[in-house]
A and B are shown apart, each in its own frame.
Chain A
Amino acid sequence: MTFTYKTLAMSVTAVAAMGLAGLAQAEYPEEDITYIIPFDPGGESDVTARFQEPILEEVLGVSVNVTHRPGGGGAVAWSEFQNSAEPDGYEIIGVNIPHIIGQPIQRNDAGYETDNWRIVTFFHSTPNALIVSDDSPYDTLEDLVEDAKENPEAITLGGSGTYSANHLDMLRFEKEAGIDLTYIPFSGTGPLKGALEGGHVAGIFNYTMLGTEMADSVKVLAVAAEERVKALPDAPTFKEQGYDIVGGAYRGVAVPKGTPEDVVATLEDAFAEANRQITEKQEPLGFVMEYITGDEIDEVMAMLVEAYGPILEEAE
Chain B
Amino acid sequence: MEMLLEALTALLTFESILTVLVGVSAGLFIGAMPGLTATMALAMLLPFTFSMEALQGLIALGAVYMGSIYGGAFTAILINTPGTPSSIATTFDGYPMARQGRAYEALAAATIASVVGGIVGVIFLLILAPPLARLAVAFGPSEMFWVAMLGLTLVASLSSDSLLKGLLGGCIGILLSTIGVSPVGGESRFTFGYPPLQGGIELIVALIGLFVIPELLTMAAEGRGALPGGSELRKKEVSIAKIAKHIFSKPANLIRSCLIGQVIAIIPGAGGNVTSLVAYNEARRFSKDPKSFGKGNVDGVVASESSNNVMVAGSMVPLLTLGIPGAPPDAIILGVLLMHGLRPGLDLFTQSGVLTNGFILSMGLAALMLLPVGLLGGRLIHRVVIRTPYYFLVPSIAMVTILGTFALRNSMLDVGIMLILGTAGYFLRLIGIQAAPIVLGLILGGIAEQGYVQTLMAAVVDPIPWLRLVSNPLSMVLAGLVVLGAATALVPMWLARKGLLDKVEEDSGGSS
Interface residues of A (CB under 8 A from B): 40-42, 46-47, 67-73, 75-76, 79-80, 106-112, 151-154, 156, 161-164, 182-187, 190, 194-195, 197-201
Contact = CB atoms under 8 A, between A and B. Distances in A.
A74 to B, nearest CB: 9
Contact of A107 (B138, B198, B450, B458): B198
B461 interface: yes
Contacts of A161: 186
A72 B450 contact: no
20 contacts: A40-B338, A42-B339, A69-B410, A71-B180, A71-B196, A71-B409, A72-B188, A72-B198, A72-B200, A73-B181, A73-B186, A153-B461, A156-B458, A161-B186, A162-B184, A182-B457, A184-B458, A185-B184, A199-B140, A200-B140
Given A42-B340, A153-B461, A184-B457, A71 B137 contact: no
Contacts of B191: 109
Contacts of A47: 341
B198 A109 contact: yes
Query: How many interface residues does chain B have, given as a range?
Result: 35 or more
Given A42-B338, A194-B137, A106 B196 contact: no
A71 B185 contact: no
A94 to B, nearest CB: 15
B195 A79 contact: yes
A153 B200 CA distance: 32
B334 to A, nearest CB: 12
- For the complex of A and B, list the 3 residue pairs with the smallest distance between their C-beta atoms, beginning with the closest: A71-B199, A111-B195, A72-B198
Contacts of A106: 186-187
Contact of B339 (A41, A190, A198): A41
B298 to A, nearest CB: 46
A141 B136 CA distance: 29
A164 B411 CA distance: 25
B463 interface: no
Which of A67, A69, A111 gathers the greatest number of chain B CB atoms within 10 Å? A111
**A-side binding surface: helix, strand, loop or mixed?**
loop
B341 A71 contact: no
Given A194-B137, A197-B137, A110 B195 contact: yes
A70 B199 contact: yes
Nearest to B202: A71
Nearest to B185: A162
Contacts of B141: 184, 195, 200
B341 A76 contact: no
B410 A109 contact: no
Nearest to A106: B186
Contacts of B341: 41-42, 46-47
Contacts of B194: 109
Contacts of A67: 410
Given A68-B409, A79-B196, A109-B195, 9 more contacts: A67-B410, A72-B188, A79-B198, A109-B193, A111-B196, A162-B185, A183-B457, A190-B343, A194-B140
Contacts of A71: 180, 196, 198-200, 409, 411
B460 interface: yes
Contacts of A163: 186
A180 to B, nearest CB: 10
A179 to B, nearest CB: 13
Nearest to A75: B198
Given A106-B186, A182-B458, A76 B198 contact: yes
